[in-house]
Amino acid sequence: MLDGLTWDLVALQLFTGLALGAVYVLLAVGLSLIFGMLTVVNFAHGAFYLVGAYVGYEVLTLGGSFWLSLAVVPAAVGLLGLAVERVLIRPLYGRSVDDPLLLTFGLGYVITELVRIAFGKSGLPFDTPDALQGAADIGIGFFPLYRLFVMAVTAAVLLALWVALERTRFGLIIRAGARDPVIVRVLGVDVATVWLAVFGIGTAIAGLAGLMAAPLQGVAPEMGSTILAEAFVVTVVGGMGSLAGAVAAGLVVGVVVSMTSLVAPEMAKVSIFALMAVVLLVRPQGFFGRAGLMSG
């Protein structure tokens, strides 16, 4: 099974895992941001990811470039997110925490089916942009240029988020709100607008993640639901609501999948959920989650 195993191969495998983890991070960060601030478990996250991929496809079909879609997709999906928060989620604040979860669960069905109606039931091709085709020598072997680009985009998004959260007034409110929403409201901050914005940002990142995935796998209506469970695993392992946790868990999950693929590839998917079970047994709140948060 493992003949021909060299250190270069192991190193390349590790790197592949980190690159895969970058996609997970991008997905989990949006999910965690929305949960941390709004305590909304967004079961429609996969659907926003799906919409992102299809908006990117549409931009290309209309003659736009991949680079244009890098701007259009987050804007369009973010707008959709704003509308969803304003019309569907906002009436649920103050009700049971299960309600937004249940609503977004149904919403995921609706969005996915609308995509099927608009774009058809079978998958559509999405070619890697010309400038990012081919593989680059990273010292331990050749690695697709596009996957390096995805890692860079993830890093850029994280940097932007860090700056926004740590260096702006808006970020201060969000951090305070994540710690104690009641106090923030008492202090007279317009929480409603902040929550709206957070939901928009979270969904915009989900859309961007979908766009990033499109050249890797093409677009298909099923892509959102398959990724959803994995995104939740990453979020829960990292600690729900923790951005640092989402980053750490995303990379760990990527590496675990990659290393499992090397020794027992058919177990790659189980490994994700087994990891989660183990982490939760040892540390029920995940890597960076706070115990007692969301206890009902």
Partner 1 sequence: MAVSSILARPAAAVTSPWLLAAVRHRFLLAAAALLLMPALVPFTALATSILVYGLYAVGFNLMFGYLGALSFGHAALFGAGAYGCGIVLASLGWPWWLALAAGTASGFAMAAALGTIAIRARGIYFSMVTLALAQCVYYAFYQAAGVTGGENGLMLPALGRIRVAGLALDGDAPLTRYYIVAAFVILALFALSRILASPFGAALEAVRENEARARASGYDVAATRLLAFALSGAFCGLAGALQALQLSIVPIETLSIDTSGLAVMMCLLGGAGTYFGPFVGAAAFLLLEASVSVWTVHWQLAVGAVFVACVLFFRRGLWGSVVAWVGR
Partner 2 sequence: MVDEAASDAVGRRAVLTAAAGALAFAATPFGVRSARAQERPIRIGFPTPLTGPYGAEAQNQVAAAQLAVAQFNEAGGLAGRQAELLVRDDKLNPGEAATRTLELIESEKVDFIVGGLSASVQLAVNNITRERKVLFNSISQSDVINEAKDFSRYTFHEALNPHMTAGAVGRYAFGRFGKRVVYLTADYAYGHEMVRGFQAVGDAMGVMTLADISHPIGTTDFSTLMPRIQALKPDILCLCNFGRDQQIAVKQAADFGLKRNIKIITPILVHTARVAGGPAAFEGVVGGTSYYWGLESTIPTAKSFNDAFRQRNGGRVPTDYGSMAYGGVRSVLAAVKAAGTADTERVVDALQALRYDFYKGPEYYRACDHQAVQSVFIITSKSKDMASPEDVFSVLSTEAPDELHLRSCAELGHA
CA atoms of 205 and 218, how far apart (whole Å): 19
CA atoms of 51 and 223, how far apart (whole Å): 10
- Asked whether position 138 contacts partner 2 by CB under 8 A, the answer is no
* CA of residue 30 relative to chain centroid, distance: 5
In the window 267-286, what residues touch partner 1 (CB under 8 A)? 267, 269-270, 273-274, 276-277, 280-281, 284-285
In the window 229-288, what residues touch partner 2 (CB under 8 A)? 257-258, 261-262, 265-270
- Asked whether position 144 contacts partner 2 by CB under 8 A, the answer is yes
All residues at 6 or more sequence positions from 49 whose CB lies less than 8 Å from its CB, including other chains: 27, 206, 207, 209, 210, 213, 223, 224, 227
Partner interacting with residue 13 (select from partner 1, partner 2, none; CB below 5-8 Å by kind): partner 2
For the chain, the C-alpha Rg in angstroms (whole number) is 19
- Asked whether position 106 contacts partner 2 by CB under 8 A, the answer is no
The CA–CA distances, whole Å, from 262 to 10, 22, 25, 144, 275 equal 8, 19, 22, 19, 17
- Asked whether position 114 contacts partner 1 by CB under 8 A, the answer is yes
- Asked whether position 99 contacts partner 1 by CB under 8 A, the answer is yes
CA atoms of 272 and 254, how far apart (whole Å): 9
CA atoms of 173 and 180, how far apart (whole Å): 10
CA atoms of 268 and 65, how far apart (whole Å): 34
Give least dist CB 243 to partner 1, A.
Answer: 17
Residue located via tokens 């941390």: 36
Number of residues that bind partner 2 (CB under 8 A): 48
- Asked whether position 226 contacts partner 2 by CB under 8 A, the answer is yes
Partner interacting with residue 258 (select from partner 2, partner 1, none; CB below 5-8 Å by kind): partner 2
Give least dist CB 293 to partner 2, A.
Answer: 31
Q: List the end-to-end C-alpha distance of the chain, in Å, as a whole number.
A: 48
The amino acid at 38? L
Give contact residues for partner 2 (rule: CB under 8 A). 1, 4, 6, 9, 12-13, 16-17, 19-20, 23, 116, 120-128, 134-135, 141-142, 144, 146-147, 213, 216-218, 220-223, 226-227, 257-258, 261-262, 265-270
Give contact residues for partner 1 (rule: CB under 8 A). 35, 39, 41, 88, 91-92, 95-99, 101-103, 105-110, 112-114, 116-117, 121, 229, 232-233, 235-236, 240, 266-267, 269-270, 273-274, 276-277, 280-281, 284-285, 294-296
